[in-house]
């Protein structure tokens, strides 16, 4: 087949000088009509620059040093500006940042129409509008005709990414370059978006260059895959062959690093069942009052966390998982007493933490510490590391300078920070080092419970593994209890013994690791598992359990089961009656009518 | 519905603001030393007469009582009468003390309403000149960050902001009016008399406008939608005209709302220099003559205008950018 | 200990640990605008500090023989003894301007300090605690922003005696809302930051967080803006002087010199214009430095450099 798009010896550098860093090094490949080709590589491997080079979108300081791109045999770098603009009708692009891609002050529909008419001047406004609405419908944006007039800020990330796919496909292009389109999305939404791209490009005969940092995603989407490492294409194979028998060492590493979930036994050691309860939630709820935009003086109630009940026992590695907006961050704030629950109780070693004052509160703070998510925002930029680590001790009454210093240096040693960093500001530290400082700051008070709020999500795989090892070693040494707040099921599978799955502020399922992954009791858990990007054979077929749409707004949670609008197994009873956590086994629970049905009424005790 | 809610909320806030302003000015004028009655009656008036006048006018009651009485009549649309100005025009200072036939004193509202249109005319011409000039310099600067238009904008605004308006007024009068005879300057006998004061005010105003525009335009140019617009097939001109300008106008609008009172501050001085018969001249004379009712009236009217302008600005801003929520 | 072996300590190369404020300052100093401004400013400061004493000319001394002398190279009877000429009663314009500059600069600085203290304190409280406290403080700033500060200033100074402390206080008090708003908005965003959360988890009190974490972080960027306000306050000071409400004669200030000179505009143009030029030059130098600092701050904070 003749090539539709062909990159020839493309070399791109960061800057014009001879010594400038080379980002793309002599990259050549071609894309046939209707073909879907995947490109996979780590962050900073040059894959985004590759996607930009393919569509003639290199902006300073990126400089094309040599090579070119042919589209249907025409050199797009030799074209006049106006011709290139006209060619954008046939070559389109979707990027990783859907929220910034459109002017925030104009309706989404109007902007897609504007783009369509800019590259296809013959199309009338009416025709363009009709086509855009038809396509918005095709990407399953609910009530497309109304959403056409909505502003970008009124779209969720997933919706916006769909709208941008419409924007790219509205001119019926021959090539679509999709750069990391699933990166900012939750797994279930990402899975939907990939499916959409495959469907639509098939329908319109569009060839796709699908670029991603995730090998499972690329495998999902493409028939042929290129592997890029440090600006070079190191391997190219049919996708299945590449996954089955990678040749280049880098590809092998990539395949090996992709987390496994079902293969092999769980790595988590079994813990004795009878352990002391250290943290206990009793119907904890948090409701925020948000001023209504419409209506006079009214408030909307956002029910961010609803009646959460569970126990955490000493030595647990307890995971709270869920997608964005499920209430896990609010729950973190409740657990760490940054906020007080609007209803219900949180008991720490038997005492309601809301009632703690003065000395008792300080003692609680020493017992329970939090390691935050953002390695950059969580360290005050103008405070030296030593001073930063001493600060919690000072607020807890430590005064002796020598003792302070000794304690801080000991903790720094434990988390693997060199003592020389004591007097440094955090400015020059890597993300991994910063996260170690965060861990040290939490550990310095010798807590018994540590909450990890997406602590690892900003780090790359290798660094994540190192920190997880550190956590496990610390847990052994000090008998710590961990609460991991995460969206990363693979990590949870690897380190946590107990998992709570949250959706719209509720706990949908609470189970031990093995049970949750191998015998989930809730359709939502199953959907999450089926959408997980992995290279293994899927245990749960996406066709059976993949979700449509997105979670309803926490402003108006529907009556009955809050999951019913997306549940593939919704029944009559789900409309009227809200399911509560129901015992499935001694310590496994799920909030679904399906579970309740198979139980005798006597067993329906609440946890 | 949103607009109605917004209007109700903002108007309520506005009433609070105006109330605070009145209270502030009212108290201020009564706690600082200096007896207005002494000025009204003239230096030679006997102490007993002054006390009598003061009592008659209620000036010896507790401040809060006076304030209540004052606000009561303000709510009925009566801003009171000037202490010193007769109803028939021509400002007089403290004339003869036995000539206090109070019925002849000018109504504050009338005085303000006479002066206001003149000031509005001046403000409109000023805004036109300042906006035109700043738009050219500022947009050019914002589109070429660290190029020569940017540097030009930087130096122009640094120099302009350093020229005291009263001095500039004097220098321009000397040059353009006295030496060259191009423009009339002192007093008001036709539209041409507005131009020179307006130029002085525009020079004072434009540096902030230029800086805001340079900042807004150049930061919009780094927004992802501008760069993505290119790969979506939109031309640079289209992106700038349809999107960048639209977004950059929001900070400019907000600035205009906030700058209103400093524009008015400039107006006061400039009107004084050019003897331009507007609100500013009225204010300065009122202060120098300790004409309390007039000062209060002016404060209430200007803060009311400020409130209204800011409501309009915010309404326009929300129609441009629906994310804004005031 | 087993943990030590797991963690490879990262290389401890010298770290780029310049603080933000330092970076802003370095960046500003490197810009030509700042350098021009600083050079002019230094020259003026030296002249202001030294010339009146060195030349031993009394700024208030009358000299009827030398009245209405024009500045250098203008008119017919200029002389080197009075580079900027003399006024209607023969006082030396250069010395008068330089002495005026001293007052103007000191009053400008002092009133900026007053407004910084009042504005930052109220703004920080409003931004950090939010809710009702915030609403009250914000209505107050709105109220004050809604009337031109010059009305307030002349209303107060017009009826009480304009002494230097009174002028400083009035200027400072009438301008605090700008800082209150600025501080409030940055504190509002900063208090959401994770390191503030971390400090709370560590058990720090609100006051401790404000004083040890937020203020050291936020004040420098506010201080960069305040350079421009020194110039603004100097203009206001001279405006007050021009209206006769500033420092009273015989002490020379830009405002009262220009107001005086205005009467002789037609036969001695230099009396009103020369001090203004002088003031303009001073303000330009300050404004160049201030604008360069503000610009550098915005670039550095936007992640530039």
Q: Do B238 and A118 touch (CB under 8 A)?
A: yes
Q: Is C67 exposed, middle or buried (0-12, 13-18, 19+ CB in 10 A)?
A: middle
Chain B residues 233-272 with CB within 8 Å of chain A: 233-235, 238, 242-243, 246-247, 250
| pLDDT number for residue C95 | 83
Q: Residue A16: which pLDDT band, with cuts at 50, 70 and 90?
A: confident
Judge whether residue C301 has pLDDT over 80.
Answer: no
Contacts of A89 in chain B (CB under 8 A): 233
Given A222, A257, A292, the domain boundary residue is A257
For residue A293, the distance in angstroms to the closest alpha carbon of chain B comes to 6
Q: With contact defined as beta carbons under 8 Å apart, do A590 and A508 qualify?
A: yes
Spell A224-248 as b/e; 16+ CB within 10 A means b. Answer: bbbbbbebbbbbbbebeebbeebeb
CATH number of domain containing A333: 3.40.50.300
Average pLDDT over residues B208-218: 92
Judge whether residue C8 has pLDDT over 70.
Answer: no
Based on the fold, state whether residues A209 and A147 are members of the same structural domain.
yes
Q: Residue C10: which pLDDT band, with cuts at 50, 70 and 90?
A: very low
Least confident of A85-89, A212-216, B177-181, C294-298: B177-181
Average pLDDT over residues B140-165: 91
Contacts of C158 in chain B (CB under 8 A): 287-288, 290
C-alpha to C-alpha distance for C304 and C20, rounded to whole angstroms:
11
Instruction: For residue A288, give its domain range.
Output: 277-603
Per-residue model confidence as pLDDT tens digits over B83-134: 777 765 544 444 444 444 445 678 888 889 989 999 999 999 999 999 999 9
Judge whether residue C182 has pLDDT over 80.
Answer: yes
Judge whether residue C12 has pLDDT over 50.
Answer: no
* Strand A224-229, strand A232-238: pairing: antiparallel
Based on the fold, state whether residues A297 and A413 are members of the same structural domain.
yes
| pLDDT number for residue B74 | 83
Return the percentage of chain A with pLDDT > 90, whole number.
42
Task: Give Cα A324 to chain centroid, integer Å.
Answer: 8
CA dihedral B20, B26, B31, B34 (to 10 degrees): 150
Based on the fold, state whether residues A313 and A448 are members of the same structural domain.
yes
Contacts of A153 in chain B (CB under 8 A): 322-323
Return the percentage of chain A with pLDDT > 70, whole number.
96
Contacts of B284 in chain C (CB under 8 A): 154, 243
| pLDDT number for residue C4 | 34
C-alpha to C-alpha distance for C116 and C126, rounded to whole angstroms:
15
C-alpha to C-alpha distance for B40 and B38, rounded to whole angstroms:
6
Given A225, A257, A289, the domain boundary residue is A257
Residues of C with CB under 8 A from a CB of A: 1-4, 6-10, 12, 15-20, 193-195, 197-205, 208, 212-213, 216-217
Per-residue model confidence as pLDDT tens digits over A430-482: 888 888 999 999 999 999 999 998 888 777 777 888 888 899 999 988 899 99
| pLDDT number for residue A1 | 54
Judge whether residue B202 has pLDDT over 50.
Answer: yes
A68 Cβ neighbours under 8 A, 6+ residues apart: A7, A8, A9, A10, A75, A76, A77, A78
* Strand B81-86, strand B105-107: pairing: antiparallel
Task: Give Cα B164 to chain centroid, integer Å.
Answer: 17
| pLDDT number for residue A259 | 79
Flag whether C72 is in a domain. Answer: yes
Structure tokens at A20: 């400038």
Whether B145 has its CB under 8 Å from any CB of chain C: the answer is no
Average pLDDT over residues B194-213: 92
Flag whether C1 is in a domain. Answer: no
| pLDDT number for residue B26 | 84
Based on the fold, state whether residues A252 and A284 are members of the same structural domain.
no
Instruction: For residue C190, give its domain range.
Output: 21-56+68-301
Q: Which of A382, A395, A430 shows the shortest C-beta gap to C203?
A: A395
Q: Do B247 and A88 touch (CB under 8 A)?
A: no
Per-residue model confidence as pLDDT tens digits over C24-50: 888 888 888 899 999 999 998 888 888
- Looking at every residue in chain C, the average pLDDT score rounds to 81
Per-residue model confidence as pLDDT tens digits over C97-121: 888 888 999 999 999 999 999 999 9
Q: With contact defined as beta carbons under 8 Å apart, do A54 and A69 qualify?
A: yes
- Tell me, which fold does domain B111-320 have in CATH? MetI-like fold (1.10.3720)
Q: Which of B167, B288, B302 shows the shortest C-beta gap to C276?
A: B167
Based on the fold, state whether residues A309 and A237 are members of the same structural domain.
no
Q: Residue A598: which pLDDT band, with cuts at 50, 70 and 90?
A: low
Average pLDDT over residues C231-249: 88
Flag whether C12 is in a domain. Answer: no
Average pLDDT over residues B271-277: 90
Chain A residues 358-417 with CB within 8 Å of chain C: 361-362, 365-366, 369-370, 372-374, 377-383, 391-392, 395-396, 413-417
Whether B264 has its CB under 8 Å from any CB of chain C: the answer is yes
C-alpha to C-alpha distance for B278 and C95, rounded to whole angstroms:
37
Name the β-bridge partners of C124: none
Q: Do A416 and C2 touch (CB under 8 A)?
A: no
Flag whether C5 is in a domain. Answer: no
- Looking at every residue in chain A, the average pLDDT score rounds to 87
Angle at the Cα of C300 from the Cα atoms of C299 and C301, rounded to 5 degrees? 95
Q: Residue B39: which pLDDT band, with cuts at 50, 70 and 90?
A: low
Flag whether C235 is in a domain. Answer: yes
CATH number of domain containing C209: 1.10.3720.10
Based on the fold, state whether residues A295 and A174 are members of the same structural domain.
no
Average pLDDT over residues C86-92: 76
The three-class DSSP label of residue A226 is strand
Judge whether residue C3 has pLDDT over 50.
Answer: no
Judge whether residue A277 has pLDDT over 60.
Answer: yes
Judge whether residue A227 has pLDDT over 90.
Answer: yes
Average pLDDT over residues A404-428: 88
| pLDDT number for residue A597 | 63
| pLDDT number for residue C2 | 36
Contacts of A436 in chain C (CB under 8 A): 7
DSSP state of A55: T
Based on the fold, state whether residues A209 and A282 are members of the same structural domain.
no
Flag whether C10 is in a domain. Answer: no
| pLDDT number for residue C59 | 73
Flag whether A61 is in a domain. Answer: no
Whether B222 has its CB under 8 Å from any CB of chain A: the answer is no
Q: How many domains does chain A have?
A: 2
Angle at the Cα of B45 from the Cα atoms of B40 and B51, rounded to 5 degrees? 75
Judge whether residue B325 has pLDDT over 80.
Answer: no
Per-residue model confidence as pLDDT tens digits over A310-369: 999 999 999 999 888 888 889 999 999 988 999 999 999 888 999 988 888 989 999 999
Given A257, A290, A309, the domain boundary residue is A257
Q: How far is CA A86 from CA A119, A120, A148, B1, C99, in A?
A: 5, 8, 25, 43, 68
Most confident of A417-426, B245-254, B290-299, C92-101: B245-254
Flag whether A5 is in a domain. Answer: no
Structure tokens at A603: 């067993």
Q: Do A57 and B247 touch (CB under 8 A)?
A: no
Q: Do A104 and B243 touch (CB under 8 A)?
A: no
| Residue ranges covered by each domain of chain B | 19-108, 111-320
Name the β-bridge partners of A207: A175
| pLDDT number for residue B152 | 93
Flag whether A68 is in a domain. Answer: no
Q: Which of C146, C265, C282 shows the shortest C-beta gap to B261?
A: C146
Contacts of A52 in chain B (CB under 8 A): 231
B192-221 and B108-143 are packed helices; what angle lies between their axes, rounded to 10 degrees?
A: 40
Based on the fold, state whether residues A197 and A287 are members of the same structural domain.
no
| pLDDT number for residue B40 | 65
| pLDDT number for residue C18 | 56
Whether B232 has its CB under 8 Å from any CB of chain A: the answer is yes
Average pLDDT over residues A193-220: 89
Q: How many domains does chain C have?
A: 1
| pLDDT number for residue A553 | 78
- Long-range CB contacts (within 8 A, 24+) of A125-133: A128/A170, A131/A170, A132/A166, A132/A170, A133/A109
Judge whether residue A66 has pLDDT over 50.
Answer: yes
Chain B residues 285-314 with CB within 8 Å of chain C: 287-288, 290, 295, 298-299, 302-303, 306-307
| pLDDT number for residue B76 | 81
| pLDDT number for residue A483 | 95
Judge whether residue A519 has pLDDT over 50.
Answer: yes
Based on the fold, state whether residues A165 and A290 are members of the same structural domain.
no
Predicted ipTM? 0.82
Based on the fold, state whether residues A230 and A310 are members of the same structural domain.
no
| pLDDT number for residue A602 | 44
Whether A61 has its CB under 8 Å from any CB of chain C: the answer is no
């Amino acid at each position: 087949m003749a090539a539709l798009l062909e990159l020839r010896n493309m070399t791109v550098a960061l800057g014009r000088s001879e010594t400038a860093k080379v980002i793309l090094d002599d990259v050549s490949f071609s894309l046939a009509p209707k073909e879907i080709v995947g490109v996979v590589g780590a962050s900073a491997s040059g894959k985004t620059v590759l996607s930009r080079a393919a569509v003639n979108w290199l902006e300073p300081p990126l400089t094309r040093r040599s090579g070119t791109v042919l589209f249907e045999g025409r050199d797009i770098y030799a074209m006049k500006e106006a011709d290139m603009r006209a060619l954008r009708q046939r070559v389109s692009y979707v990027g990783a940042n859907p929220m910034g891609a459109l002017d925030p002050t104009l309706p989404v529909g109007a902007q897609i129409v504007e783009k369509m008419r800019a590259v296809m001047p013959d199309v009338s406004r009416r025709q363009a509008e009709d086509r855009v609405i038809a396509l918005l419908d095709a990407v399953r944006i609910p009530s497309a005709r109304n959403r056409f007039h909505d502003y970008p800020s009124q779209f969720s990330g997933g919706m916006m990414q769909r709208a941008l796919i419409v924007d790219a496909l509205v001119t019926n292009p021959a090539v679509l370059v999709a750069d990391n389109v699933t990166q900012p999305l939750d797994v279930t939404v990402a899975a939907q978006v990939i499916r959409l791209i495959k469907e639509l490009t098939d329908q319109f005969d569009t060839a796709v260059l699908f670029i991603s940092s995730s090998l499972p995603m690329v495998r999902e989407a493409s028939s042929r895959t290129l592997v890029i490492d440090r600006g070079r294409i190191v391997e190219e194979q049919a996708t299945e062959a590449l996954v089955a028998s990678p040749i280049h060492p880098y590809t092998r590493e990539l395949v090996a690093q992709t987390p496994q979930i079902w293969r092999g036994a769980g790595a988590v050691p079994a813990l004795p069942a009878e352990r002391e309860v250290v943290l206990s939630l009793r119907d904890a709820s948090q409701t925020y009052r948000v001023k209504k935009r419409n209506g006079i003086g009214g408030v909307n109630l956002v029910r961010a966390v609803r009646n959460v009940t569970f126990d955490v026992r000493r030595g647990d590695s307890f995971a709270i998982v869920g997608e964005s907006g499920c209430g896990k961050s609010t729950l973190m704030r409740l657990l760490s007493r940054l906020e007080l629950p609007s209803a219900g109780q949180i008991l720490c070693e038997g005492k309601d933490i809301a009632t703690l004052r003065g000395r008792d509160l300080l003692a609680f703070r020493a017992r329970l510490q939090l390691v935050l998510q953002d390695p950059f925002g969580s360290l005050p930029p103008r405070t030296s590391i030593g001073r930063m680590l001493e600060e919690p001790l000072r607020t807890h009454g430590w005064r002796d300078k020598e003792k302070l210093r000794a304690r801080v240096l000991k903790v720094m040693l434990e988390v693997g920070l060199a003592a020389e960093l004591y007097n440094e500001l955090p400015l020059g530290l890597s993300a991994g080092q910063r996260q170690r400082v965060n861990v040290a700051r939490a550990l310095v008070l010798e807590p018994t419970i540590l909450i990890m709020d997406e602590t690892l999500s900003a780090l790359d795989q290798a660094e994540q593994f190192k920190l997880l090892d550190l956590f496990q070693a610390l847990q052994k040494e000090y008998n710590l209890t961990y609460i991991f707040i995460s969206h990363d099921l693979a990590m949870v599978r690897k380190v946590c013994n107990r998992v709570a799955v949250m959706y719209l502020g509720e706990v949908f399922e609470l189970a031990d690791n093995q049970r949750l992954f191998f015998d989930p009791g809730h359709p939502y858990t199953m959907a999450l598992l089926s959408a997980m990007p992995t290279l293994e054979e899927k245990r749960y077929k996406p066709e059976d359990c993949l979700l449509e749409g997105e979670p309803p707004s926490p402003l108006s949670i529907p009556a009955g089961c809050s999951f019913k609008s997306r549940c593939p197994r919704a029944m009559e009873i789900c409309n009227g009656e809200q399911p509560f956590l129901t015992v499935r086994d001694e310590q496994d629970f799920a909030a679904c009518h399906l579970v309740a049905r198979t139980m005798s009424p006597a067993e329906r005790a609440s946890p | 519905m949103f607009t109605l809610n917004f209007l109700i909320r903002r108007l309520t806030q506005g009433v609070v603001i105006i109330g605070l302003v009145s209270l502030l000015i009212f108290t201020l004028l009564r706690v600082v030393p200096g007896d207005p009655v002494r000025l009204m009656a003239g230096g030679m008036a006997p102490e007993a007469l002054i006390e009598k006048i003061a009592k008659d006018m209620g000036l010896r009651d507790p401040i809060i009582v006076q304030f209540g009485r004052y606000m009561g009549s303000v709510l009925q649309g009566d801003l009171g009468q000037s202490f010193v100005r007769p109803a028939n025009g021509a400002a007089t200072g403290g004339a003869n003390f036995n000539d206090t036939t109070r019925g002849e004193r000018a109504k504050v509202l009338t005085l303000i309403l006479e002066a206001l249109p003149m000031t509005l005319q001046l403000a409109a011409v000023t805004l036109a000149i300042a906006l035109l000039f700043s738009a050219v310099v500022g947009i050019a600067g914002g589109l070429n960050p660290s190029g020569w238009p940017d540097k030009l904008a930087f130096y122009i605004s640094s120099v302009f902001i350093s020229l005291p308006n009263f001095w500039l007024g004097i220098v321009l009068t000397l040059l353009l009016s006295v030496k060259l005879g191009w423009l009339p300057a002192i007093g008001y006998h036709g539209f041409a008399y507005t131009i020179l004061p307006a130029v002085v005010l525009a020079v004072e105003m434009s540096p902030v406008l230029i800086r805001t525009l340079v900042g807004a335009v150049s930061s919009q140019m780094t927004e992802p939608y501008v760069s993505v617009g290119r790969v979506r097939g939109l031309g640079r001109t289209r992106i700038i005209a349809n999107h960048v300008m639209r977004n950059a106008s929001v900070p400019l609008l907000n600035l205009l709302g906030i700058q209103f009172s400093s524009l008015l501050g400039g107006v006061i001085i400039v009107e004084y220099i050019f003897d331009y018969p507007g609100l500013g001249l009225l204010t300065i004379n009122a202060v120098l003559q300790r004409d309390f009712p007039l000062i209060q009236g002016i404060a209430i009217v200007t803060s009311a205008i400020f409130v209204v302008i800011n409501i309009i600005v915010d309404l326009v801003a929300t129609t441009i950018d629906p994310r804004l929520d005031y | 200990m087993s943990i030590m072996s797991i963690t490879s300590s990262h290389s401890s190369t010298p770290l780029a640990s310049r603080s933000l404020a330092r970076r802003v300052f370095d960046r500003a100093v490197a810009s030509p605008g700042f350098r021009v401004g600083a050079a002019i400013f230094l020259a003026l400061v030296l002249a202001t500090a030294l010339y009146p004493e060195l030349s031993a000319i009394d700024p208030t001394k009358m000299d009827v023989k030398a009245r209405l002398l024009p500045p250098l190279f203008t008119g017919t009877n200029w002389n080197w003894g009075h580079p900027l000429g003399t006024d209607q009663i023969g006082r030396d314009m250069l010395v008068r301007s330089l002495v005026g500059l001293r007052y103007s600069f000191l009053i400008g600085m002092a009133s900026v300090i007053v407004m910084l203290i009042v504005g930052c304190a109220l703004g920080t409280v409003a931004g950090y605690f939010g809710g009702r406290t915030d609403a009250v403080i914000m209505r107050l700033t709105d109220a004050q922003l809604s009337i031109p500060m010059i009305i307030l200033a002349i209303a107060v100074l017009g009826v009480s005696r304009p002494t230097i402390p009174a002028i400083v206080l009035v200027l400072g008090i009438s301008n605090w809302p700008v800082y209150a708003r600025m501080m409030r908005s940055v504190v509002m965003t900063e208090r959401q930051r994770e390191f503030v959360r971390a400090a709370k988890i560590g058990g720090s009190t609100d006051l401790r967080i404000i004083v040890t974490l937020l203020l050291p972080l936020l004040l420098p960027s506010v201080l960069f803006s305040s350079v421009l306000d020194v110039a603004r306050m100097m203009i206001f000071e001279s405006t007050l002087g021009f209206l006769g409400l500033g420092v009273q004669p015989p002490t020379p200030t830009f405002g009262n010199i220009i107001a005086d000179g205005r009467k002789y505009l037609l036969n001695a143009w230099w009396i009103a214009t020369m001090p203004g030029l002088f003031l303009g030059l001073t303000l330009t130098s300050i404004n160049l430095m201030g604008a360069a600092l503000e610009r550098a701050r915005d670039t550095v904070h936007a992640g530039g450099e």
